[in-house]
Amino acid sequence: MQKQLNIPITRGEKVWDAIGIGGYIFTVLYLITIWRQLPEQVPLHMGLTGHVDDWAAKESLLLLPALSIIMFTLLHLLGKYPHIHNYPKRLNDENAAAFYQQSRMMLNKVKNICVLVFCFIEVEFSMIALGWINDGSGWTMIIILLAVFYPIVEGMMKQRKIK
């Protein structure tokens, strides 16, 4: 285990947290607002083409907000301890702060983007259930994967530049 350092939270991390938490709150309020209008069966799963291929009770829509809270909390706690993350052998006392901050920023983006992805899926499933849209888009999965993996690739590239 590496030496623990006290590195202040960046403005970017605060912005990402505000976006993630704001998206979550909006989605929960949206779900509360439309709950009585929802049919008893709502989409549970979509294939890669965006076509709904499984349905479940509307209470299943509560799963994504619950998972969002759990995931956000666990990743937030992990971000508080960047000294336990995996680092290359070139980590030393001079570059530890840069590595820790970069790792924490990458984790922060991933955490909040995952929450936003869950929010998007929640809204899309509810809109399909309400008949406001017919199906999801085939592009949804591609966009989700790019959104989640972009900060990971970006973070790894930035870590490679740390001397």
Q: Please tell me the distance from the alpha carbon of residue 60 to that of residue 53, in angstroms, as a whole number.
A: 15
- Would you say residue 100 lies in a domain? yes
- Would you say residue 1 lies in a domain? no
DSSP string covering 25-69: HHHHHHHHHHGGGS-SEEEEEE-TTS-EEEEEEGGGGGHHHHHHH
Number of structural domains in the chain: 1
Nearest in space to 74 (alpha carbons), one of 48, 110, 46:
110
SS3 163: coil
- Would you say residue 2 lies in a domain? no
- Would you say residue 104 lies in a domain? yes
- Would you say residue 43 lies in a domain? no
Tell me the mean pLDDT in the region 74-92: 86
As separate numbers, helices (DSSP H) first and strands (DSSP E) second, the chain gives: 4, 2
Per-residue model confidence (pLDDT) at position 67: 96
- Would you say residue 147 lies in a domain? yes
Tell me the per-residue pLDDT of 9-62, one tens digit each, with 9 for 90 and over: 999 999 999 999 999 999 999 999 999 999 999 999 988 888 899 999 999 999
pLDDT above 90 (res 139) = no
Q: What's the pTM value of the predicted model, to 2 decimals?
A: 0.89
Q: Please tell me the distance from the alpha carbon of residue 31 to that of residue 33, in angstroms, as a whole number.
A: 5
- Would you say residue 41 lies in a domain? no
Which domain range does residue 118 map to? 11-35+48-160
Q: Tokens 């499984």 label which residue? A: 54
Give the Å distances, CA to CA, from 153 to 24, 110, 116. 25, 11, 19
